[in-house]
């Protein structure tokens, strides 16, 4: 120990080198045991002991780019902060020669070890500094998941900037907003298509100093290739990078996550080092994952916090392998990557699980009567097994073991799930019926609830939770409460903990409207928490339909009930805000253009078969919509009647419906990047059709 009494040896690391840390900069467990906020209002500032130091702060939230916040440490919870650079450095030391990243090149899988991973990040960080990246300025990244995306994201953080992902579907104005808001010094693009967006607004971005294209050779003057970046970084010493790392603190912002922007321009969610590393710690601890053994597949948009916390931070925490999906993963190639990777944990948004469901149902429909009988029997046994487990019955019947060997294992192997331990659904609500379908195939789904503003997950369910409609219990070390509950216990879900974001960049009013004075995050979700701690999300406050009679209607639950009753329906969209009754827009399942992902007019074989059973020979959406065959519309009405039986009041029953001429999709604008419905877009696009419901 040093002779200087206020200095203790640090277990924290900075770029592979040991530094010392002042006692008032990092508080050990004993100091914060009875204090829910690390506060340094009266302490001396710590300087140059980063990146894992906790810098002096007295505010619970901030909207300033260079702001700092106190840590919301819960008594008894793990409270050892670590920065993003500290986390990757630690994993490079622990898992150095283990594979970290796997990507396809010339149709062959190439592996990157953890040592190489961290070295590549440091090289990119040094290049970014050389190119003029300033502290608390953005590096905006747009492109499909790749090692270069990871290196750019983490390199920006190492270099003291903000990593900021942009959705590949963003139009030019949305890209400009991200670049301008983050005062981006550097833009990283995948290809010439994304490059065009940046070049078109370059003259309006005074802070932008460099544009990098990581795929192919850029032909535009002044645009750097990825090889240029690696060459620039390799030529630089570590001195400037290490100097920047020393100034960092875990309670500073390192990443900006831009919200969907459904109510105007998107907000830049300021996420700290500690938000990300603590959230990854909570998730991996809850799932009891094994260090150095897990395998993940990266294919969901990395500009979304769910993909970042899973693919980047949880993977680094565990020393897990990440396989990168191909660009057309969501158009059909995902199964190829799954078969190659054989992940041990898999994250999908509800729409991905729906697509897998549709594919399996389509295959099953082609089976002969005997095979279909056996498959139905197996699914009944599978569902019974998990329903028993939910009741606390811990046993495996002979029939379950038999069908696991005969049926379930083969299905899993065909998908690439043969060694998958956890199947997770996140980013949007998933129906109970879909959960039960996958249970019946021995693919039990865990559901996570989280948001950009809490750095990823806040709750996570187990497959055997007794509340199958819920999103599990609050993760250890953070808290939940219901604000202003009604007589049924429904109210706004509020979130507290170290994972709660710092604030919205340059938006103090919005920040104060979301974070209260005690540091609770008001999620905007309507939920209830039962006496055993299970959280159930029942809707979004902003999505609630308030009828003319004053009844609050959560649309997603009703839409899911309709889709469960009518498996041929792809999307359901409930109408009723300020209306006398509920109506619904429905789209039938149709084929997808493999190149553009746009919906086609041709119906899927599943829908055609259903129509045929009703003595209807149509094969196109336009034919059904134009002719309105009575037998088809009667069948749809029967499905809606079945869904209406689940309504808790007459006001929640659907009175009218119509079929849409085309399904929702990402290219046509009705779905967002995580395939959630963009309600304002649908309301505007079909406003005339909606008005028809209420004319008389």
CATH number of 589's domain: 3.30.300.30
Average pLDDT over residues 558-573: 94
User: Is 48 part of any domain?
Assistant: no
| Phi-psi region at 381: left, alpha or beta (left = phi > 0; alpha = psi -120 to 50) | alpha
Token pair 């309006």 in the structure block, residue: 204
Give the CA angle between residues 478, 467, 641 to the nearest 5°: 130
Q: What is the pLDDT of residue 37?
A: 41
Q: How far apart are CA 677 and CA 657, in angstroms?
A: 18
pLDDT level of residue 396 (50, 70, 90 thresholds): very high
Are both 535 and 554 inside the same structural domain?
no
Are both 553 and 657 inside the same structural domain?
yes
Per-residue pLDDT for 230 more than 70? yes
Per-residue pLDDT for 7 more than 50? no
Per-residue pLDDT for 9 more than 60? no
Beta-carbon contacts of residue 434 (< 8 Å; ≥ 6 apart): 350, 353, 354, 357, 445, 564
pLDDT level of residue 142 (50, 70, 90 thresholds): very high
Beta-carbon contacts of residue 691 (< 8 Å; ≥ 6 apart): none
Are both 471 and 567 inside the same structural domain?
no
Are both 127 and 210 inside the same structural domain?
yes
Per-residue pLDDT for 27 more than 50? no
User: Is 689 part of any domain?
Assistant: yes
The domain of 377 spans: 344-543
Point out the domain boundary residue: 282, 304, 329. 329
Token pair 């119509």 in the structure block, residue: 658
Smallest Cα–Cα separation from 480: which of 535, 531, 426, 428?
A: 535
Average pLDDT, the chain: 90
User: Is 537 part of any domain?
Assistant: yes
Q: pLDDT per residue over 453-470, tens digit each?
A: 999 999 999 989 999 999
Are both 462 and 519 inside the same structural domain?
yes
Q: How far apart are CA 512 and CA 63, in angstroms?
A: 9
460's enclosing H/E stretch is strand 456-460
User: Is 207 part of any domain?
Assistant: yes
Are both 321 and 217 inside the same structural domain?
yes
Q: What is the pLDDT of residue 154?
A: 98
User: Is 60 part of any domain?
Assistant: no
pLDDT level of residue 20 (50, 70, 90 thresholds): very low
pTM of the prediction?
A: 0.86
CATH number of the domain residue 396 falls in: 3.40.50.12780
Q: What is the pLDDT of residue 596?
A: 84
Average pLDDT over residues 562-584: 94
Q: How far apart are CA 609 and CA 365, in angstroms?
A: 9
Helix (H, G, I), strand (E, B) or coil at 570: strand
Q: Which of 332-336, 364-368, 431-435 has the lowest mean pLDDT?
A: 364-368
Measured in residues, the chain has a length of 696
Smallest Cα–Cα separation from 448: which of 329, 309, 548?
A: 309
Are both 404 and 486 inside the same structural domain?
yes
Point out the domain boundary residue: 501, 519, 543. 543
pLDDT level of residue 42 (50, 70, 90 thresholds): very low
Q: Does residue 68 contact residue 62 with C-beta atoms inside 8 Å?
A: yes
Q: How far apart are CA 160 and CA 85, in angstroms?
A: 10
Tally the C-alpha atoms within 13 A of residue 97's C-alpha that lie toward its C-beta: 0
Q: Which of 4-18, 201-215, 592-606 has the lowest mean pLDDT?
A: 4-18
Are both 107 and 134 inside the same structural domain?
yes
Are both 191 and 223 inside the same structural domain?
yes
Are both 355 and 500 inside the same structural domain?
yes
Smallest Cα–Cα separation from 299: which of 340, 268, 270?
A: 340
Q: pLDDT per residue over 407-427, tens digit each?
A: 999 999 999 999 999 999 998
Q: What is the pLDDT of residue 264?
A: 60
Smallest Cα–Cα separation from 242: which of 84, 13, 46?
A: 13
Average pLDDT over residues 565-576: 95
Are both 475 and 516 inside the same structural domain?
yes
Q: How far apart are CA 580 and CA 513, in angstroms?
A: 32
User: Is 1 part of any domain?
Assistant: no
Total number of domains constituting the chain: 3
**Neighbour-count burial for 414-443, b at 16+ CB within 10 Å, e otherwise:** ebbbeebebbbbbbebbbeebbbbbbbbbb
Q: What is the pLDDT of residue 445?
A: 97
Q: Does residue 303 contact residue 520 with C-beta atoms inside 8 Å?
A: no
User: Is 95 part of any domain?
Assistant: yes
Share of the chain above pLDDT 70, in %: 92
pLDDT level of residue 444 (50, 70, 90 thresholds): very high
Per-residue pLDDT for 79 more than 70? no
Point out the domain boundary residue: 490, 523, 543. 543
297's enclosing H/E stretch is strand 295-298
Tally the C-alpha atoms within 13 A of residue 583's C-alpha that lie toward its C-beta: 18
User: Is 285 part of any domain?
Assistant: no
Token pair 């969209």 in the structure block, residue: 573
Are both 173 and 104 inside the same structural domain?
yes
């Amino acid at each position: 120990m040093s002779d200087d009494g206020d200095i203790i040896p640090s277990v924290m690391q900075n770029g592979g080198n040991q530094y010392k840390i002042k006692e008032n900069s990092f508080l050990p467990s004993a100091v914060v045991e009875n204090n829910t906020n690390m506060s340094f209002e009266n302490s001396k500032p710590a300087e140059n002991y980063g990146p894992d130091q906790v810098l002096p702060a007295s505010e619970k939230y901030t909207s300033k780019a260079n702001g700092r916040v106190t840590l919301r440490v819960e008594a008894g919870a793990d409270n050892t902060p670590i920065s993003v650079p500290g986390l990757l450095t630690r994993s490079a030391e622990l898992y150095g020669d283990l594979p970290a990243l796997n990507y396809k090149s010339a149709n062959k899988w190439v592996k990157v070890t953890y040592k190489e991973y961290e070295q590549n990040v440091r090289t990119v960080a040094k290049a970014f500094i050389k190119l003029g990246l300033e502290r608390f300025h953005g590096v905006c990244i747009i492109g499909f998941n790749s090692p270069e995306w990871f290196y750019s994201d983490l390199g920006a953080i190492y270099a003291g900037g903000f990593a900021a992902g942009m959705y590949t579907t963003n139009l030019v104005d949305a890209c400009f907003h991200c670049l301008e808001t983050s005062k981006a010094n550097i833009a990283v693009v995948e290809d010439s298509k994304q490059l065009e967006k940046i070049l078109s607004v370059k003259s309006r971005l005074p802070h932008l100093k460099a544009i990098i294209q990581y795929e192919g050779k850029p032909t535009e003057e002044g645009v750097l290739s990825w090889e240029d970046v690696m060459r620039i970084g390799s030529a630089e010493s570590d001195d400037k990078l290490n100097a920047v790392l020393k100034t960092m603190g875990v309670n500073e912002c390192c990443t900006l996550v831009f919200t969907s922007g459904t109510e105007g321009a998107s907000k830049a969610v300021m996420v700290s080092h500690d938000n990300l590393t603590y959230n990854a710690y909570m998730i991996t601890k809850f799932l009891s994952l094994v260090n150095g053994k897990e395998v993940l597949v990266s294919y969901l948009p990395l500009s979304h916090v769910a993909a970042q916390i899973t693919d980047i931070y949880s993977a680094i925490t565990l020393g897990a392998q990440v396989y990168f999906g191909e660009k057309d993963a969501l158009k059909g190639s995902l199964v190829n990557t799954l078969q190659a990777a054989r992940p041990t944990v898999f994250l999908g948004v509800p729409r991905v699980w729906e697509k897998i469901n549709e594919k399996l149902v389509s295959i099953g429909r082609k089976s002969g009567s005997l095979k279909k009988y056996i498959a139905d029997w197996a699914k009944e046994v599978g569902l019974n097994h998990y329903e028993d487990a939910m009741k606390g019955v811990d046993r495996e019947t002979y029939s379950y073991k038999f069908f696991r060997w005969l049926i379930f294992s083969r299905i899993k192997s065909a998908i690439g799930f043969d060694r998958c331990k956890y199947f997770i659904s996140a980013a949007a609500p998933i129906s109970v019926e879909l959960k039960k379908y996958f249970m019946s195939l021995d693919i039990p789904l865990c559901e996570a609830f989280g948001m950009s503003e809490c750095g990823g997950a806040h709750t996570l369910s187990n497959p055997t939770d007794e509340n199958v409609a819920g999103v599990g219990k609050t993760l250890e070390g953070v808290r939940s409460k219901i604000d202003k509950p009604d007589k049924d216990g429904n109210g706004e879900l509020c979130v507290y903990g170290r994972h709660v974001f710092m604030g919205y960049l340059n938006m103090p009013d919005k920040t104060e409207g979301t974070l209260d004075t005690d540091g609770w995050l008001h999620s905007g979700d309507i939920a209830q928490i039962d006496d055993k701690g299970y959280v159930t999300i029942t809707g979004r406050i902003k999505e609630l339909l308030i009828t003319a009679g004053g009844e609050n209607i959560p649309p997603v639950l009703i839409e899911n009930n309709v889709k469960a009753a009518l498996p041929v329906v792809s999307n359901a969209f409930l109408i009723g805000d300020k209306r006398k009754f509920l109506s619904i827009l429905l789209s039938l399942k149709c084929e997808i253009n493999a190149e553009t992902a746009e919906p086609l007019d041709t119906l899927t074989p599943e829908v055609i078969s259903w129509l045929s059973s009703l003595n209807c020979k149509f094969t196109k959406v336009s034919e059904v919509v134009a002719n309105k065959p009575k037998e088809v519309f009667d069948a749809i009405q029967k499905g809606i009647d079945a869904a209406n039986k689940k309504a808790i009041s007459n006001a929640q029953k659907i009175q009218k419906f119509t079929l849409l001429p085309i399904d929702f999709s990402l290219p046509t604008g009705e779905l967002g990047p995580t395939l959630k419905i963009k309600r304002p877009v649908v309301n505007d696009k079909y406003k005339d059709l909606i008005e028809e419901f209420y004319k008389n």
